[in-house]
Amino acid sequence: MKFILVRHGETEANIGGIYSGWTDFPLTEKGNKDIQATARALKRYADIDIIYSSPLNRALSTAKAISAAINKEIQVVPNLKEMNFGIFDGKEREYIQKNHSSEWDSWLKDYVNYRIPQGENLLDVYDRIVDFIEMLIEKDKSCIIVTHGGIIQTMITHLLDLGLDKMWHFQCLPAGYVEIEYVDNFGYLRRLEHCN
């Protein structure tokens, strides 16, 4: 089976250095243009069974463009939302460092275990993503998953059987995608594309 992991197009938060998490920012003009290129590139995956998408509009807009290009159904999955950054959500790094310096320092020291106030830690994210992936593996159907950068990094580490501390080795830019082939409980990284 194949997992095609697609990151949503560029948003105002991406270019502004804002932690968007569960706060929804619209796609930029470039983001809208880039997702059309990604949708065209994904036509090569005729064997895909379904598209799964985060409910956040930046991902769902991307999923709709892909769905129109490849004529596949979209199923919205709440577990595919980006990490909930709690008190950091919707704010720029400089603001967070100035107004939440203690929390910022704690998060940087232990980003896996430290739960941002009113938000999640990386283990929370990992648990909800693993639940979703294991359900997909049981179904054994190839799919496109439209989601967010941190979620894609988390999925890659799980599917390639790596530790969460390795997630930073993988970067999927806005409107980019990753192809992972999964055979006999073993993941193979086949492609990492940036269509912008």
Query: 8 an active-site residue?
Result: yes
Q: Which residues carry a binding-site annotation?
A: 7-14, 58
Q: What is the 3-state secondary structure (H, E, C) of the chain?
A: CEEEEEECCCEHHHHHCEECCCCCCCECHHHHHHHHHHHHHHHHCCCCCEEEECCCHHHHHHHHHHHHHHCCCEEECHHHCCCCCHHHCCEEHHHHHHHCHHHHHHHHHCCCCCCCCCCCCHHHHHHHHHHHHHHHHHHCCCEEEEECHHHHHHHHHHHCCCCHHHHHHCCCCCCEEEEEEEECCEEEEEEEEECC
Query: 148 an active-site residue?
Result: no
The model's pLDDT over 87-99, given as tens digits with 9 standing for 90+, comes to: 999 999 999 999 9
Find the catalytic residue in 8, 100, 103, 179.
8
Q: Which residues carry a binding-site annotation for substrate?
A: 7-14, 58
Instruction: Tell me the percentage of the chain whose pLDDT exceeds 90.
Output: 86
Domains of the chain: 2-85+123-194 (3.40.50.1240)
**pLDDT score of 109:** 94
pTM of the model: 0.94
Find the catalytic residue in 73, 82, 94, 138.
82
Average pLDDT over residues 175-189: 94
pLDDT for 61 beyond 90:
yes
